[in-house]
């Protein structure tokens, strides 16, 4: 049987975090052995929030290098730059015409971005989910590995696909989100009411994949615990400690209860030191791979060019069928 298609992507607008790894990239590595995987470096999505010091070209190569360092194999998976496949934006316009304004206005991510970025409320932020839907639907995607915060966007994508199919007949696969049961939402280190985000202005909330060892220890040390350091660990409602357990489980594959049992009768400083050590050992392996790969610029460009050729072939074929159905293919 023909393998089903997996599509996913990450913006190259900032350094990737352990939240990105646990929530999405770790899934990619496993799925590429079972499915036909297509992974995008979503540069078009990244320009919805522009920055004066934004070096997009270098960020794209940084992101690709981290993909490879984490275990994405370009011989098994297609990796490409989103803006290099013009069919994404062509399909996005078509899908605009099959999406209700009210559906976009209800997007939770849109509402949050307006609150967090009131000085730059551009229409790209509003129409972001439609471009995401075109990314997915263009490749007849069956599964989309995403974090829990993107689930609503996948639901919108499914609604658009169903609406189009009802009008023109079976055209799009109806994609399903793949969300981890554990580790799907790694929270901020200090502000545990929000997700860890690479765009967070408070750097103490984030552990990057390229984080230095001393900074990992420093950031975890800042997590609030009982005021008396010699107290034995009490998890109770301490979301900071529970978040670290979630991170340790996500990185190692071990169940949270195993870590809880391991830290029984230990004090908070022991917990923080050992957790920091586990995290840094894991990150050091990725970082060693990353720095070896990142210096091979021509190698990275070859991967992107090869990915572009393969993705373009699929996208062009599928878009032709779509534009024919909506009546845009006119013989002269």
Annotated catalytic residues are: 113, 195, 198
Rounded CA gap, 252 and 18, in Å? Answer: 12
Positions of E strands within 50-112 = 77-81
Phi and psi, residue 107, nearest 5°: -65, 125
- What are the DSSP E strand ranges found in 121-215? 143-145, 176-178
Q: What's the CA gap between 7 and 5, in Å, rounded?
A: 7
CA distances from 168 to 107, 173, 182 (A): 26, 13, 39
Residue 27 tokens, joined: 């899934």
Give the chain's length: 332
Distance CA 146, CA 84 (A): 22
Helix (H, G, I), strand (E, B) or coil at 321: helix
223 backbone dihedrals φ, ψ, rounded to 5°:
-60, 130
Neighbours of 149 (CB within 10 A): 16
Other C-beta atoms lying within 10 Å of the C-beta of residue 93: 12
* Token pair 């909330």: residue: 205
Q: Where are the beta strands (DSSP E) in 65-104?
A: 77-81
């Amino acid at each position: 049987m023909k393998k089903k298609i997996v599509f996913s992507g990450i913006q190259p607008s900032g350094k990737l975090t352990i939240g990105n790894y646990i929530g999405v990239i770790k899934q990619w590595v496993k799925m590429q052995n079972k499915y036909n995987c297509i992974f995008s470096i979503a540069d078009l999505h990244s320009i919805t929030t522009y920055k004066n010091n934004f070096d997009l070209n270098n960020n794209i190569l940084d992101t690709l290098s981290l993909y490879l360092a984490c275990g994405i194999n370009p011989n098994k998976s297609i990796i490409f730059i989103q803006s290099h496949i013009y069919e994404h934006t062509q399909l996005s316009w078509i899908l605009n015409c099959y999406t209700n304004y009210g559906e976009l206005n209800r997007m939770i991510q849109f509402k949050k971005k307006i609150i967090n970025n009131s000085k730059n409320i551009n229409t790209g932020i509003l129409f972001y989910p439609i471009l995401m839907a075109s990314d997915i639907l263009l490749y007849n995607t069956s599964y989309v590995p995403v974090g829990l915060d993107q689930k609503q966007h996948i639901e919108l994508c499914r609604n658009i696909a169903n609406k189009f199919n009802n009008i023109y007949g079976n055209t799009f696969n109806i994609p399903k989100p793949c969300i981890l049961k554990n580790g799907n939402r790694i929270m901020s280190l200090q502000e545990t009411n929000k997700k860890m985000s690479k765009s967070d202005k408070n750097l103490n909330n984030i552990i990057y994949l390229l984080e230095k060892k001393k900074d990992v220890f420093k950031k975890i040390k800042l997590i609030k615990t009982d005021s008396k350091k010699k107290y034995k660990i009490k998890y109770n409602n301490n979301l900071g400690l529970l978040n670290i357990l979630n991170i340790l489980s996500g990185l190692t594959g071990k169940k949270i209860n195993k870590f809880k049992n391991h830290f029984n009768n230990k004090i908070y400083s022991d917990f923080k030191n050992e957790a920091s050590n586990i995290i840094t050992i894991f990150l050091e392996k990725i970082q060693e791979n990353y720095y070896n790969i990142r210096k091979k610029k021509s190698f990275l460009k070859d991967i992107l060019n090869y990915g572009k050729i393969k993705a373009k072939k699929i996208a062009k074929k599928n878009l032709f069928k779509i534009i024919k159905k909506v009546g845009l293919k006119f013989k002269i």
